[in-house]
Amino acid sequence: MIIKSVHIIAFGGLRNRDIDLSRGVNVIEGQNESGKSSVAMFIKFIFYGLSGKKPSKNEFSERDRFINKDTMQAAGFIIAQSSEGSVFRIERSLIADDVSAPREKIRIINQGTGETVSGQEPGFYFFNIPEEIFVSTCFVAQASAVRPSSIAAKTSSDNTKAVGNLLTSADEDVDISAAIKRLDDTRRELLHRRGTGGELNDLKKRLEELKAERDSSAEKSEKAVALSTSLEEINNKISSLEKAKEHYSAVFSALEKINLKKKIEASDQAKERIDKLSSALKAIDNSPLGNGFEESILESEKAVENYDSLCAEYEEKVLNSDEDFSQKHDIPDYDETVNKIYDLESSCRRKDRWFYGLLVAFFLSVAATAGLWFFNTSAEKVVLIISVVVLALCILTFVLKILSSKKLSMLYDEWEIGDDDEVETAVHRKIEELEISNHESDVISQLSERMSTGKLLFDAAESKIHDLAKAAKVPESDDIYVTIDALKNVNKEIQEQRVNIVSKIDNLSGRLELLTEQIGDTDRNNARIEAEEVLKTDIGKKAESMEQEAIKKLSKERDFTDGALSSAVKRRHFLEDSLNELGVLGRSPDELQTLINSLEGRIEELSLRYDACELARESLEKAGESVRAGILPRISEKASAIISAATGKYEKMTVDDSLSCGVASSSETVTSEHLSHGTEDLTYIALRLAVADEVLKTEKSPIIFDESFAHIDSSRIRNILRMLSMNSSDNQYIIFTCRAEEKDHADSLGLNTIQMTNDLSH
């Protein structure tokens, strides 16, 4: 098949690109990132599509890499001519979005006849080979640099293995030796050679265990039947007891709802009664005879009694006393008074001494005057004058003495002094008496003031008693104490009434608190409705009519039923455990026989598979020998022609029994481990072309090279291009390169070249 033109609608980074190709060799040259690999992958996409599988976790799949990100599609077509001369238009589109799975459309149109084939893979339709063989032979991708990435980094021994795989399966990634090893592993998994392990051996052991279990199960069947019968009977009994329990639960549930309704009603009644009593108590407290009535009576009585007491005290201390408490005495200082008396006593004694001295002097002067007169002397007048003066002084001293004595006598009388020796005692006693007298005067004065205050309080109390008597409708007596006693009797009655009301409120409050706690957060309206609904049922009517004794009896019956049910459940558990111990709940003999039959079939199947693995392994080994004997010489001959034409140095490519590739000339043979990188790449290219020629029997596929000659020198590239052009009558080669020398060699050989720029042109 020859591709005449490529038309890319959207693919990778390319959109609306057209490329015309010719028979033979086509060299497409362009810089890196210009889209060469995208064009190569587009051709592979037309024939085999894009894989959605990721090579590894961190790599992108072909769809991720080549679906155009702007249009979210890969689409286009090619015009190709078959070896028979028919021209086909091969269309393919793949549309992806984030909502649904990718949608793919394929059409093969015969432009001569108009016949259209849809949905069939073009690669199979034209070449009759799968994608893996196409990629391994006809499509040398850029990333592999001649060999696939899984082979490119392998050692020489790994390269030998890849050649063997390619020659045997036309896919260098398919490891035949690994396949043989997997067959050996599978065979060993089924049965070890010595028969000591493997799945077949395990299954045979399992078969023996099942047969033993079947025999044991048969022995236990008779006991299991008896236990099953007992279990059925106990289940029936449990069912009957559960129904009885449901009945008791329904009755007690109805009782609970009815009692709850009664408690709610009792709670409402208690609250209503408390409200009425509280109102009555409030009315008493707010009346004149309420709060403060007793205190007013007691305060008034206290004021009356206090005034009467003051009056009695006043009468006793003032009215019935002989003492005058109307004037207070000044109390002299004790020391000053004593000293004053002592000074006055001293003054009286001095005046006595002066008086008696002057009196003696007077008598002496009188005697002297008489003498002088008797003797009739001239000095008698002088002495007489002195006598008169002395007499005057004596009289004056006597008067002063009398006054001092009288004053002293008055002090003695005032201080009640009997003699000189008790001055201090008498003064001290008198001062104490004066102090007591002054104190009594102060007491009387205070008593008078208290009398005045008490009178005011008495008048107020009398007025208050009058008002209270009027409010209590008590007749007033002339004796105020009688009125007070009458008011006390009224107050006693009121207090008894109040205590009675408070006691009732306390009792009702306690009952209300208990009912409220029992009712809890229950929706009262809903509880009433539920109780009324229950009362409409037969169970509700029965529950409402039940006496306390009937309820107690029913409660005992319920407890007995619960106990019987608990015992029955324990009995059932015992029977179930016994059945479990017997294995009745496991597998029956019939079921085990079925498993045994199935296991015997499985053993037979695995035995056949074991034989098949042995046969397949022998077939693969014979196939390898057949490849070496049949296909290998033909592929080696074709690859040798390519190597000879390309190198001009080596005449053939050798592939020994171990599938190791080398080159040889008339003078030397170079094995694979001594080949240069470029020559090694050339052997792989030759091998691919030879295998492709061998595999493609009906229709030749275009051979695509994407940067496949990177390690091959310039002269050999020219030889390769010349060799390909000489073999291009029925073949087409499309070579993508970024090196200008490959394009220059193609131009010099007259081959078709295409320069890949922003706009594709020849």
Task: Supply the pLDDT for residue 661.
Answer: 75
Task: Supply the pLDDT for residue 630.
Answer: 62
Given a cut of 60, whether residue 122 has pLDDT beyond it is yes
Given a cut of 60, whether residue 275 has pLDDT beyond it is yes
Question: Which has more pLDDT, 625 or 540?
Answer: 540
> Minimum mean pLDDT among 84-88, 204-208, 694-698: which range?
694-698
528 - beta bridge partners?
A: none
Cα–Cα dist 304/310, whole Å: 10
Nearest 5°: the CA angle 350, 354, 356 is: 115
142 - beta bridge partners?
A: none
Given a cut of 70, whether residue 166 has pLDDT beyond it is no
> Minimum mean pLDDT among 421-430, 567-576, 634-643, 708-717: which range?
421-430
Please state the pTM of the whole predicted model.
Answer: 0.43
| Mean pLDDT on 80-102 | 88
Cα–Cα dist 404/408, whole Å: 6
- How many C-beta atoms lie closer than 10 Å to residue 53's C-beta? 7
Q: What share of the chain is helix, strand, coil (3-state, %, to 5)?
A: 65, 10, 20
Q: Any idea which residue has 């394929």 for tokens?
A: 106
Q: So where are the chain's domains?
A: 175-286+506-629
Question: Which has more pLDDT, 11 or 404?
Answer: 11
Are 210 and 592 spatial neighbours (Cβ–Cβ below 8 Å)? yes
Given a cut of 70, whether residue 549 has pLDDT beyond it is yes
Question: Which has more pLDDT, 44 or 730?
Answer: 44
Given a cut of 50, whether residue 149 has pLDDT beyond it is no
| Mean pLDDT on 90-107 | 86
Cα–Cα dist 7/756, whole Å: 14
| Mean pLDDT on 247-263 | 87
How high is the mean pLDDT of the chain? Answer: 79
Quick one: which of 523, 508, 516, 551 has its CA closest to 263? 516
Are 755 and 26 spatial neighbours (Cβ–Cβ below 8 Å)? no
The CA distances from residue 438 to 327, 328, 329, 332, 337, in Å, are 8, 5, 6, 13, 18
Residue type, 441: S
Cα–Cα dist 556/590, whole Å: 49
Given a cut of 70, whether residue 659 has pLDDT beyond it is no
Task: Supply the pLDDT for residue 719.
Answer: 86
Who contacts 409 (Cβ-Cβ below 8 Å, separation ≥6)? none
Task: Supply the pLDDT for residue 144.
Answer: 43
Given a cut of 90, whether residue 471 has pLDDT beyond it is no
Predicted confidence band at 49 (pLDDT cuts at 50, 70, 90)?
A: very high
Cα–Cα dist 138/689, whole Å: 7
734 - beta bridge partners?
A: 26, 704
Residue type, 34: S
pLDDT digits (tens, 9 = 90+) for 204-219: 788 888 888 777 777 7
Q: What percent of the chain has pLDDT over 90?
A: 14
Torsions phi, psi for 458 (to 5 deg): -65, -45
> Minimum mean pLDDT among 89-93, 432-436, 463-467, 706-710: which range?
432-436
Task: Supply the pLDDT for residue 423.
Answer: 75
Task: Supply the pLDDT for residue 735.
Answer: 92
Task: Supply the pLDDT for residue 16.
Answer: 93
| Mean pLDDT on 22-49 | 91
Are 248 and 465 spatial neighbours (Cβ–Cβ below 8 Å)? no
Task: Supply the pLDDT for residue 692.
Answer: 77
Say whether 104 sits in a helix, a strand or coil: strand
> Minimum mean pLDDT among 245-249, 347-351, 382-386, 494-498: which range?
382-386
- How many C-beta atoms lie closer than 10 Å to residue 667's C-beta? 6
Lay out the sheet containing 73-81: strands in order across.
Answer: 14-20, 2-11, 73-81, 87-95, 103-110, 116-118
Quick one: which of 280, 279, 274, 276 has its CA closest to 494? 280
SS (H, E, C) 180-200: HHHHHHHHHHHCCCCCCCCHH
189 alpha-carbon distance from chain centroid: 51
Cα–Cα dist 207/214, whole Å: 10
Given a cut of 70, whether residue 283 has pLDDT beyond it is yes
Q: Which of 115-119, 221-225, 473-477, 661-665 has the highest mean pLDDT?
A: 115-119
Task: Supply the pLDDT for residue 6.
Answer: 96
The DSSP 8-state label assigned to residue 331 in this structure reads -
